[in-house]
Amino acid sequence: MTSLQRRSATEADREFVFRAKAETLRYAVEAAWGWDERAERDLHDKRFVAGGLEILLDGTERAGYLKVRREPDLLRLVSINLLPAWQSRGIGTSLIEELQREAEEAGLPVRLRVLQANGRARSLYERLGFVVIETTASHHQMSWPSSGGA
């Protein structure tokens, strides 16, 4: 596994985050409700907030991004996205296990949403102990229940 560094995202990362999402998740979005480039761009521009978003770096090269929201009663994995060159190297597993250790120490569960069409991600989450707690028309809500918390 390649160890990646992290840095806080800035406004200058807006385009990278959009391109990374388009490259890695377009197929799942297409399966869920269709990919409309303009609509996806508009949604991204409305929702993009650099605060709380971390850029994953391999040296100076951007490898992906991670966003975790720390709420009073849980840790929410909002997004984890690695470009293809960094996938299947244990990096995502390592990042999620680090989040699980943080949750365990705090006595909190970890929650996330995954597109139903993203079976590869769901398999990863299930392998790491997450279970589906709710299913909508497009997503699975998943939880990893820490032994110490809610």
Alpha helices by DSSP H, the chain: 14-32, 37-47, 91-106, 119-127
By three-state DSSP, how is residue 41 classified?
A: helix
Q: What digits encode the pLDDT tens for the residues 10-38?
A: 999 999 999 998 888 777 776 677 778 88
pTM of the model: 0.87
**What's the token pair of residue 30?**
């297409």
**What's the token pair of residue 112?**
């996330």
Q: What digits encode the pLDDT tens for the residues 67-119?
A: 999 999 999 999 999 999 999 999 999 999 999 999 999 999 999 999 898 98
pLDDT value of residue 146: 54
